Amino acid sequence: MTPQIEAFLEMMAVERDASPHTLSAYGRDLADAEMALSDAGGLMKADAEAVEAWFADLSRRGLSAATAARRRSSARQFYRFALAEGWRSDDPSRRLDAPKQGRSLPKVLSRDEIDALLAASAARDTAAGLRLVALVEMAYASGLRVSELLGLKVEAIQRNPAYLIVRGKGGKERLAPLNTAAREAIKAWLVVRDAKRKPEVPDSPWLFPSSGRTGHLTPRRFAQLLDEAAITAGIDPARVSPHVLRHAFATHLLEGGADLRVVQTLLGHVDIATTQIYTHVATDRLAQVVQQNHPLARDD
């Protein structure tokens, strides 16, 4: 990684309060561009034609439109920073057009599949099973992003709250609900969590502690545990992920008649258009239920 890229990432962290996940993504994107543009002198010396050729090659390499759009954004922000710092007198990314992205519907599990996933989670050995049940119950009951869920501290769930105060994207706070099942799962997990702690080791502040670098369970490990539970439950692991539990939370609320604005608030979406995609999923599922179960339903 070049000094200029490092300076850009430092600016993003300090001045824009970018999350570690965002910084990691920017770093990967710019490192890829630096390598691809090496024959043209790297990011700092490449001209507009070279940068445009790099961007056009992304689709030929099989990258999705969403990934290409993110790399375009990374390059454009880097070059704006380079201009502001006086490192370059031009912006070779100015003519990059955003790739067209298809509207993909989120993957969603049915209520029966959620129940099967919870049963498979509980079938694991005591401590691991109780932890995974708590994770699944909380994700499904609250719609938390995986980073928000795994970043919870024990103090957040003291006094058995009905709502969590969550700091989401952009540092904005919102309330995330916890139903009875989630609260009972948390209490059961805390019993074994505290019992596992060695007296000579200070207690971890994290609700789901880990011995890794972050001190808490990682998204990757959570996803691995869900894959294992999905296989046990007879569900295709490709359809299950921490984010799918958030999708299920939103879709099942809308299927149950929840107001779209309420769901937007619970998910922490700034733009209601982001939330509206779940209405398509809910409508499709409701139409399928009618088609399969209504006595007057007929095939076309």
How many angstroms separate the Cα of 195 from the Cα of each of 125, 139, 188, 263? 15, 24, 11, 37
Rounded CA separation 66/31 (Å): 18
Q: Which two tokens stand for residue 294?
A: 């209504």
Judge whether 219 and 242 are in contact, CB under 8 Å: yes
Polymer length of the chain: 300
Annotation says 246 is catalytic:
yes
Q: Which two tokens stand for residue 282?
A: 């809910």
Annotation says 197 is catalytic:
no
Q: Which of 80, 243, 280, 285 is catalytic?
A: 243
Annotation says 169 is catalytic:
yes
Residue 59's DSSP bridge partners are: none
**Could you tell me which of 88, 5, 95 has the C-alpha nearest to residue 52?**
95
**Could you tell me which of 208, 229, 244 has the C-alpha nearest to residue 118?**
229
Query: For residue 288, how many other CB atoms are within 10 A of its CB?
Result: 10
234: phi > 0 → left, psi -120 to 50 → alpha, else beta; which? left
Q: Where are the beta strands (DSSP E) in the chain?
A: 163-167, 173-177
Q: Which of 71, 145, 193, 252 is catalytic?
A: 145
Q: Which of 169, 187, 220, 261 is catalytic?
A: 169
CA-CA-CA-CA dihedral for 136, 244, 235, 193, to nearest 10: -20
Residues with active-site annotation: 145, 169, 243, 246, 269, 278
